[in-house]
Structure 1
Amino acid sequence: MTQDEASEDYGKNATGILPGHILTRLIGEGREVRIAEALAETQIQPASVDLRLGAMAYRVRASFLPGPHATVEEKLREVALHEISLEQGAVLETGCVYVIPLLESAEFSPRVSGLANPKSSTGRLDVFTRLITDRCTGFDRVETGYHGPLYAEVSPRTFPILVRKGSRLNQLRVRRGSPQFTDTQLRRLHAEIPLVEGEADIDNGLGLSVDLKGDFKGDGSRIVGWRAKRHTNIIDVDKRGILDPHEYWDAIEPAKSGNIVLDPDEFYILASREAVAIPPEYAAEMVPFNPLMGEFRVHYAGFFDPGFGYAHGHPPSARAVLEVRSREVPFILEHGQTIGRLVFERLTEVPSTAYGEGIGSNYQRQGLKLSKHFQD
């Protein structure tokens, strides 16, 4: 096989994130991502693969990285406190750290690497999860050419969660090469296909600001966000649309001042002021805004699938949901304050199915929205 033929095997572009239909084909051929069990329904997303928890979880003393000279299994012998079977389901408690082998492993080619994120619903439950590999020196990255197992580090921060073998808490994007997408390219893309309505704030990515004026509810009142309650019941991560949000969250109404005071160690769900559109040949990652600008952070880096908020010929239709924490001191967040930036990346080709309601996507036209586990 020539180099050109090898490139075409991953899509029409030589570099970029692999779309779902190419991932499906490669997995079926036993390439790049290997699976211990058959793919589950909807496990392949437009530009990523959901990763499934294996049958056993290890409660550990603390988070760790194995470093360049050790495997995760070797480190677990030193730091694991006890084993927990997930075959029939188990509760992961808040404030504890667990390491869980996944049903997927990597068999990456020399030009192929991976990037992981919590799934949107995982982040909105304040579940801190990161990907670990053997001999890694950083989280959520799978090095070029890596062959070996994948593990999830999981630490619920606010709600205890019920998980089982096959539950999906994070997702993996598979990338070929090292593509770069500059601000100049981003401005050209916005001029061609509006990524937000009006003028775009482009500087090391597309800036997003927070909405503190709020959405109107059916009774005419408004809500700007949700603050998580403490000491709630457990949440089954695999069950959708059954929980009463008011048993887990306090609604936040807009203040006359137009701002909100973030209390330390509290978890908030807010929304961006801008509606966003991600064209089908692109994906984006929301990275936290520069911490020098304030004592807060977007708690989880979010991944935006190709087609999110996008309909050809229509304006952007979906806002970004923001999982926000203050750091060590209370912080006043103002309406319209920049809170994160979207960094774009091209796919190797347009996915056969983009993000949208037609494939059961949960957040396609979202405003301020809790995770899929709660009733609307």
Structure 2
Amino acid sequence: MSSFQAPRPGILPAQSIETLIATGAITSDTEFDHDQVQPASLDLRLSDQAWRVRASFLPGKRKVEARIADVEMHAIEITPAGVVLEKGCVYIVRLQERLKLPKGLIARANPKSSTGRVDVFVRLLTDQGARFDDVAEGYDGPLYMEVAPQTFSILVRPGTRLNQLRLKAGDPPKLETRSVGVDLQGGDIVGFRGRRHAGVVDLDHIDGHDPRDFWEPLTLRRGELLLDPGEFYILASSDDVEIPVDQAAEMTPIDPSVGEFRVHYAGFFDPGFGTDEAHGAGSKGVLEVRTHDTPFLLEHGQIVARLVYEPLTERPSRLYGESGSHYQNQGLKLSKHFRVW
């Protein structure tokens, strides 16, 4: 197996991902979409093959489909007309993309921003994988995704994109870690709480849903918010977020020492997010928040997450939002599936 030569350790930019596609290190059941390669990541697409399972799992030393046989409830064909994945259920879906990573490359997956904002929990699986979302150096095989809708049932089709893949050369250094606080004084509406008995969210229907049917707005109240266990919230960061054009960032899981809740399911920020150069100055980070076992009182400015910055191997051929984006220049914003409140 050949080795991938990068100018320096780091996350691969769009042009390097395109080279991997051209050389067969990344292949697909169907032709790649023209917009599938992002500035520093590759969107992954659902195939037509899925399974409803009774439990999540890691394959360990086995292949994913061999492990599915132990927990399968029934197989599902995802048709072009769409299939509903019910909230509270767990599914495994084979993805259209397949990897044959050269030596020197590893990969890591994360939900797309729009996926996290509708409270769909997704994790990547690989054959003989020991960890969710991580792809080992030299991996040669198919990709699968665990899908677990939490608040809303979702409608998906072959080609629906729920997660994205970053590829890394070498061991990129952590350049900087920044704390992220929560904004509870930014306007009359400081957040949204998902409605428990809403309808189905069609994940391929942009601006196609009335937010009032799915979300309860949260109004300003003394600069604090009481999080109820089991509820899902959309909030915004208190400070602007800016990702330099030669770097990318990931929102790290919450540290239990600052609160027993989860923030930001979709952890990737692409190069150029929030920058003047990409016409995104003033962009906030949107936070998907769910508390665990006990009610938790958040205060304005309280630190709820951390951003970890890593270098790219080289400047990407395009920046986040240069040709349009749903989330560049965002403040407090629901996913792209909902019309403006």
TM-score band by shorter chain is over 0.9
The residue type equivalent to 2:16 in the other structure is I
Match of 2:68 in 1: 76
Alignment of 1:211-360 (within 5 A): 211-215=183-187, 222-255=188-221, 257-312=222-277, 316-356=281-321, 358-360=322-324
Match of 2:78 in 1: 86
Q: Which consecutive unaligned segments of at least 5 residues does structure 2 have?
A: none
Name the structure with the higher helix share: 1
Instruction: Give yes or no for contact 1:273–1:319 (8 Å, CA) kept in 2.
Output: yes
With 41-50 and 20-29 compared, the bigger mean Cα shift is at 20-29
Q: Deviations over 1:272-319 (max 9, x none)?
A: 000011111100000133112222221514100000001149994210
Match of 2:39 in 1: 46
SS for the counterpart of 1:359 is coil
Q: Which consecutive unaligned segments of at least 5 residues does structure 1 have?
A: 187-204, 216-221
**Structure-1 separation of matches of 2:278 and 2:42:** 29
With 79-88 and 155-164 compared, the bigger mean Cα shift is at 79-88
Match of 1:195 in 2: none
The residue type equivalent to 1:360 in the other structure is G
The residue type equivalent to 1:327 in the other structure is H
CA RMSD of aligned residues (A): 1.6
**Structure-2 separation of matches of 1:226 and 1:127:** 16
1:21 and 2:22 equivalent? no
Match of 1:190 in 2: none
Number of aligned residue pairs = 338
The change in CA–CA distance for 1:313 and 1:141 in structure 2 (over 3 A counts) is closer
Alignment of 1:108-187 (within 5 A): 108-182=101-175, 186=176
1:362 and 2:326 equivalent? yes
Match of 1:210 in 2: 182
Task: Report how far residue 25 of structure 1 moved.
Answer: 2.3
Q: Deviations over 1:115-142 (max 9, x none)?
A: 0000000000000000000111110000
With 306-315 and 51-60 compared, the bigger mean Cα shift is at 306-315
**Structure-2 separation of matches of 1:169 and 1:159:** 14
Instruction: Give yes or no for contact 1:289–1:338 (8 Å, CA) kept in 2.
Output: no
Instruction: Give yes or no for contact 2:273–2:280 (8 Å, CA) kept in 1.
Output: no
Q: Which runs of 4+ in 1 moved over 6 A?
A: none
**Structure-2 separation of matches of 1:162 and 1:272:** 29
Q: Deviations over 1:84-122 (max 9, x none)?
A: 111231000000000001000110111100000000000
Match of 1:58 in 2: 51
**Structure-1 separation of matches of 2:246 and 2:265:** 24
The structure that has the greater radius of gyration is 1
